[in-house]
Amino acid sequence: MLPPVRCFTCGAPLGHLWDQFKARLEAGESVGKALDELGVKRYCCRRTLYTTATYVEELALYSVYRREREAVIRRHFHGVEGS
């Protein structure tokens, strides 16, 4: 997993904050508090750090499309109807 080097919107450098940010989250600190203490103030920069590929799988648990995909798999490969 490659950390974001710069903010996708404003171009501010973020790569140097990644290891600290990740360590704080693993220690149980809230995302908001970690970003505040690291000095990340802009919404775009906060979004870039928080929504990197590390969290895509966590967020995918709540995806409607995942449920639809699972229903298609059940229907076509297992012969089970329903959602």
* CA angle in degrees (0–180, nearest 5) for 49-67-8: 20
- The whole-number average pLDDT for the span 33-40 is 95
Work out the percent of the chain whose per-residue pLDDT is above 70: 76
The secondary structure of the chain in percent helix, strand, coil, rounded to multiples of 5, reads 60, 0, 40
Mean pLDDT is highest, among 40-44, 53-57, 78-82, for 40-44
Domains of the chain in sequence order: 15-77 (1.10.10.60)
Instruction: Check whether 83 has a pLDDT greater than 60.
Output: no
The per-residue pLDDT for range 11-25, each reduced to its tens digit, is: 999 999 999 998 998
Q: How confident is the model at residue 81 (pLDDT cuts 50, 70, 90)?
A: low
Query: In 10 A of CB 34, how many CB atoms?
Result: 20
